[in-house]
Structure 1
Amino acid sequence: MGLFLIITLLIVVSAFYSYVNARFFKLPGTIGIITIAIIVSVVTIAIDKLDPAIASYLTVLAKNINFSGAVLNIMLGFLLFAGSFNSNTKRLKRELRPVFVLSTLSVILSTGVFGVLFYYGTMLFNIHMSFVYCLLFGALISPTDPVAVGAIIKTSKLPANLATIISGESLFNDGVGLVLFITILEAINSGVANVNFAQTAILFAREVFGGIGLGLILGFVAFRLMKSITDFQTIVLVSLSVVMSVSVIATYLHLSIPLAVVSAGLFMGNRTINIDEKERSHEALEKFWQLIDEMLNTILFVMIGLQMVNLPYITNYWLTGGIAILLILIARWLSILLPLTFLRRTLNVNYKNINILTWAGVRGGISIALALSLPTSPYRHIILCGSYFIVIFSIVVQGLTLNKLINSSLKDKEAN
């Protein structure tokens, strides 16, 4: 199947799902689209068992999409830039401390806690999995997804400070999670006994700080270029070139693409390019990237649903999937509670908000893309299926019930 045909079919399917949701389901965009995509995929898998010839026509699109490559190498940069460019940086600065802790320390804690719990939890059911692979699973599933989080927050009733903390955390923790994932995967490939911790620390620092530095430099250059002109077409092209250049250079220099793109987006979005009061290029650019964000969101979640067709063995992992859902919620809760307990004076977060922060920690396409990128191993199917269960549960169940949890918390506060 040719590339143009794949893109055409993907956009047609995305438009159809969006229409069905808007016309009949009327669920929040992201939740409705992935729900429809999952239903179609489940029906396709059922048809495949009855008549493989019919199902082959339905699965051809899913099997021709390189989901991992498309998300990590193409879509991720645009989605992160769009989210960071349109972020409210004034609010983000006010909540910088909790955002920093949740996007760094909490991700590391969640990775370790989930790895330990999953290792011993699966052993209770005679499912034996290497501990280092449990940590690898924790690294790819611990970061919250900025795409899924942003889409769900738009329709939530979160207080402004919590919404800023959750969205800010999701923008930055992908970079930390990706670095952890790469580090653990390299340790597996080279042998855990041969890991050089000093070299690993240098690699971690280079990925993180190098990515941030690259993003700030290219963001500054692009901002100065856009500030000096009023031609909107050129301004859009410059902003697009930043995302692509950051991705290419960061890949070549082995720096963190998510952190580089987010840094560039925050720098450029926080400074107006309007030359005078009558000029509205910056506002138009914000609307352009908001449109890109929403369109790519739709396509991404359609792709997530379609990929289930490629995982017929997912029906064999209901137990491990259920365990993974429970344990990631526990790991998320503890990774917020522990920093808050020891850094309560530093963090402007109330203990009563822990449950909301836990439930709003939605996972998405990035976790699945990382799971799909794993090399062949005895544990790949367990990690991949567990990731699917967690992502689907977090988007559909947590997304649909988040407002109920928020309303319940607000009523408790009023009662007290």
Structure 2
Amino acid sequence: MSTVDLAVLTLAIVMALGVITFLFSERTGISYVPILILLGIAVGPVLNLVDRTEAHQLFDYARVFGLVIILFAEGHNLKWTLLKKHFATIGVLDTLGLLATVLIAALAFSYFLHVPLAVGFLFGAIIGATDPATLIPLFKQHTVPEDMRSVIVSESIFNDPLGIVLTMLAIALLVPQADSAKLIEWIAQFTSLVPAAILYFLYEVLASVAIGVAMGLIGYRLIHVFHLEPFPEVYSFALAFGGFAIGEWAQASGYLVATVIALVLGNHELFFPREDRVERASRVITREHHFNETLATLATVVIFILLGAGIDLQNLWSSLWVGIAVALVVVFVARPIATLSILPLRRWSLRQYGFMALEGPRGVVASALAGLPLTLGLTYHDQQMIGWGESILAVTVITILVSVILETLWIGALNRRWLGAEAGREG
């Protein structure tokens, strides 16, 4: 079978499994994330219906394409009014909270697997972001109050690209020959490594936001200049991937650029209130958003199933108990400590804090990044990195499964007992 035929067959299997998964998830109310991963493991290393090498190769493309589409689609859902209202909470969670999660996960991974802390930091960065693809349908199903839903979902949308930035930073420290390390290596010529890392992170965030805002503004203007109503889907593709490419060319985060572009377009009625232009822009943006949400669903299916199909089953079993231990630290230690950072704001009750602390599942971004260390090890023929990469991949999969399964199981009870009580008290 040719390489092209093998790729087509693999994608056909993946999509068929996606249909089965969504039908099962809809009828049972069980989150589709763990089902997709487990089915990927079943058709990959267990039944060998999907070749592991082919899964890795397709995953490398799906990771980039899928993340851009997912973040671009989710960026439209960020409401500026709610972001302003909860700016302090979201900002603290996506800075201090994210960093606390990364560091605690890093310490747990390094301790349990007896690897250098830098390797643990790479794992922590990969697993640090929470998952909007899991949270959004989960919160709709259980009718979580709007303020709580907006904060946790907005946090997860923003910490996705920020987690990617931290991952690139960790890779730069571990694999200095990688392309993503060039900027930090250049900065480090003029200062020591720690200040270079801080400057690198600040540049990545600030440059990405600036590029995203500029391209969002340009993208909105072009809707009226070229009358794009007949083909908004094609236009949005060009805008999302053009923004990603420019961000990467500028050594910033293309993923964060795509997210900010979508934020600007999704809130165009607030940012560009001219009545004679709002209706046309709304038609174009609504159509392209629906289209990209469909693509984001397809990308999610591909990423999770290929993640499972690319697993080394022997390594997964050998890492099982260690992975569960790390996952429990992430769920019961890292996330609650990370959300402690919002308590000084005195904005949320202890019940609301408890809900935030226990609802931070890991998902699509962690899945998309999980195979990157192994890919870098194979690319640069670094046997030590290959070994670390296998461990990171296995423990990431286990952590995603544990966090999604646990937090899906208890969300109904938490919502009724804690948020229902709060809603009753406020009423």
**For residue 241 of structure 1, what is the aligned residue in structure 2?**
238
207, 217, 220: which is aligned to 1:220?
217
Q: Does 1:201 align with 2:198?
A: yes
The answer to whether the Cα contact below 8 Å between 1:141 and 1:387 also exists between their aligned partners in 2 is yes
The answer to whether the Cα contact below 8 Å between 1:103 and 1:172 also exists between their aligned partners in 2 is yes
**For residue 78 of structure 1, what is the aligned residue in structure 2?**
69
Q: Does 1:408 align with 2:417?
A: yes
Letter in 2 for 1:280: R
Q: CA deviation at 1:79?
A: 0.9
361, 386, 390: which is aligned to 1:381?
390
**For residue 50 of structure 1, what is the aligned residue in structure 2?**
none
298, 321, 325: which is aligned to 2:323?
321
5+ residue gaps, structure 1, are 48-54
Higher mean alpha-carbon deviation, 146-155 vs 74-83, is at 146-155
**For residue 51 of structure 1, what is the aligned residue in structure 2?**
none
The answer to whether the Cα contact below 8 Å between 1:79 and 1:293 also exists between their aligned partners in 2 is yes
Equivalent-residue separation in structure 2 for 1:222 and 1:167 (angstroms):
25
The answer to whether the Cα contact below 8 Å between 2:208 and 2:247 also exists between their aligned partners in 1 is yes
The answer to whether the Cα contact below 8 Å between 2:228 and 2:235 also exists between their aligned partners in 1 is no
Instruction: Report the CA distance shift for 1:5/1:318 in structure 2 as closer, same or farther (over 3 A).
Output: same
Counterparts in 2 of 1:21-60, with a 5 A limit?
21=21, 23=23, 26-27=26-27, 31-32=31-32, 34-35=34-35, 37-39=37-39, 41-42=41-42, 45-47=45-47, 55=48, 58-60=49-51
**For residue 305 of structure 1, what is the aligned residue in structure 2?**
308
Instruction: Report the CA distance shift for 1:5/1:157 in structure 2 as closer, same or farther (over 3 A).
Output: farther
Instruction: Report the CA distance shift for 1:387/1:235 in structure 2 as closer, same or farther (over 3 A).
Output: same
Equivalent-residue separation in structure 2 for 1:238 and 1:201 (angstroms):
36
**For residue 96 of structure 2, what is the aligned residue in structure 1?**
105
The answer to whether the Cα contact below 8 Å between 1:9 and 1:61 also exists between their aligned partners in 2 is no
Letter in 2 for 1:313: N
**For residue 16 of structure 1, what is the aligned residue in structure 2?**
16
Q: CA deviation at 1:136?
A: 2.0
Q: CA deviation at 1:36?
A: 5.2
TM-score scaled to structure 1, two decimals? Answer: 0.84
The answer to whether the Cα contact below 8 Å between 1:320 and 1:382 also exists between their aligned partners in 2 is no
Instruction: Report the CA distance shift for 1:349/1:3 in structure 2 as closer, same or farther (over 3 A).
Output: farther
Equivalent-residue separation in structure 2 for 1:414 and 1:147 (angstroms):
26
Task: Give secondary structure in 2 for the equivalent of 1:197.
Answer: helix
Q: CA deviation at 1:257?
A: 1.8
The answer to whether the Cα contact below 8 Å between 1:6 and 1:61 also exists between their aligned partners in 2 is no
**For residue 354 of structure 1, what is the aligned residue in structure 2?**
353
Letter in 2 for 1:95: H
**For residue 173 of structure 1, what is the aligned residue in structure 2?**
159
Q: CA deviation at 1:74?
A: 1.4
262, 266, 277: which is aligned to 1:275?
277
Equivalent-residue separation in structure 2 for 1:73 and 1:23 (angstroms):
27
Task: Give secondary structure in 1 for the equivalent of 2:230.
Answer: helix
5+ residue gaps, structure 2, are 177-184, 378-382
CA offset digits 1:104-161 (Å, max 9, x no partner): 11111111222234444x2xxxx42222222222121111133333343343322111
The answer to whether the Cα contact below 8 Å between 2:62 and 2:299 also exists between their aligned partners in 1 is no
Equivalent-residue separation in structure 2 for 1:105 and 1:178 (angstroms):
16
Instruction: Report the CA distance shift for 1:258/1:349 in structure 2 as closer, same or farther (over 3 A).
Output: farther
Equivalent-residue separation in structure 1 for 2:93 and 2:365 (angstroms):
18
The percentage of aligned residue pairs carrying the same residue is 19
CA offset digits 1:366-416 (Å, max 9, x no partner): 223323111342433322211010112223332343223212324554798
The answer to whether the Cα contact below 8 Å between 2:70 and 2:293 also exists between their aligned partners in 1 is no
Letter in 2 for 1:109: A
